[in-house]
Structure 1
């Protein structure tokens, strides 16, 4: 395995590790995102076993010790398994997550006290970069789930939303909704709930120009349309399950 680096928006770098053994023959990507500012932020700490190659890749962009913030979509091994390893090499870094995630996981797991983020709270990274935390409980899974929106580049750091198979390219303007629907059909990874469609649809109000996927390419184009289409599919799934329950 090796970690590939691509700049997917101005000052936002995708560190991508492709694993063929997951869902072969297509395989699966694990992506971390570095937002460059006076106080650099990394979204996703990655799997603990991938830390050596991810750290080496990041060191090609900035010295790891420069990291000041480590955030992620929810508490799960591929999102934050290597968080404490990063904290060890970045002595000034602080983990940051929503209130629920800090309360149930980070206050115990993190080697350094986390910053608790309220829904809508902004971290000013300096250098023109500002990231806004948005609570998305149970969407796509985990009651502590949330995403980040970088305001200057209109980039939504999506976490597990739009997850898909393969390793086609770092940037795409092609459809990301169809492949995400196919991955949902295969993995059933989402926690279907009545509010899911509305939660995803609310993200479209930010009109993102870039959707940075944790598992898949980074999409450039009409992010609002893609989010609304994904929300429509989850609404369909929830209604289908509700109809099935009524027939029991």
Structure 2
């Protein structure tokens, strides 16, 4: 479980911990992303019990006490379990998240008051521009959101495109097929009626890098990958509606 550190875009580091015991034999990766700037940002704190591993990896890139911003996709143990451990070692750090996440969880669970981010709000961290985007129920969680780093065109995807295995840190190949396979296995998405439209709105950003929480990061046509994923979830929600309609008619 030694973390693997890779720079996936200019000043953006992927810190990956592979756990072979989850969904064997393929295993599962937990990825955390450090965005360097005058005010460094960590996207995904990691599990509380992984804090020594992840913080040790961050210390190889920068002093952990210099961390300024902490954010994540939604309130869940692997995304923010170590939130307060990070706040304890980084005295100037502040959690930042959308209004829903702050109201329902973070105002109470964070040891310091979080900063509430409006949808599409920008934080200039000095050298990098971080945009927060609400994605409610996509792929799951009422409070879900993603972060887009504008200068590098990097979309920090949270649980979107989740896949199994322990591959390279950055690939140019297919990430949609493996994500569909993981959805078939875990059924982790909420399949809300707006899911396809929400993902398609992210595609309009035309990101050059997709930073996955579970799986390899992707370099290439992010617009096409997101559009294909949106099409898949449109198909799944349509199939569900048809199944419900048939069951009701019967």
Verify same fold: TM over 0.5.
yes
3-state SS of 2:78 partner: helix
Shift of 1:2: 1.1
After superposition, the C-alpha distances for 1:39-88 in whole angstroms (9 at most, x for unaligned) are 00000000000000111100000000010000000000000000000000
CA distance in 2, matches of 1:211, 1:130: 16
2:234 corresponds to which residue? Answer: 235
CA distance in 2, matches of 1:215, 1:53: 17
After superposition, the C-alpha distances for 1:168-194 in whole angstroms (9 at most, x for unaligned) are 110000000000000000000000111
3-state SS of 1:148 partner: strand
1:7 corresponds to which residue? Answer: 7
1:40 corresponds to which residue? Answer: 40
1:30 corresponds to which residue? Answer: 30
After superposition, the C-alpha distances for 1:196-237 in whole angstroms (9 at most, x for unaligned) are 000000001110000000000000000000000000000000
CA distance in 1, matches of 2:103, 2:59: 31
2:207 corresponds to which residue? Answer: 208
2:153 corresponds to which residue? Answer: 154
How many residues are paired up? 247
After superposition, the C-alpha distances for 1:17-52 in whole angstroms (9 at most, x for unaligned) are 000000000000000000000000000000000000
CA distance in 2, matches of 1:219, 1:203: 15
RMSD of equivalent CA atoms = 0.4
Unaligned runs of 5+ in 2: none
1:165 corresponds to which residue? Answer: 164
2:186 corresponds to which residue? Answer: 187
TM-score using structure 2 length:
0.98
CA distance in 2, matches of 1:112, 1:39: 17
CA distance in 2, matches of 1:133, 1:53: 27
3-state SS of 1:30 partner: strand
3-state SS of 2:105 partner: helix
1:144 corresponds to which residue? Answer: 143
2:121 corresponds to which residue? Answer: 121
CA distance in 2, matches of 1:161, 1:170: 16
Unaligned runs of 5+ in 1: none
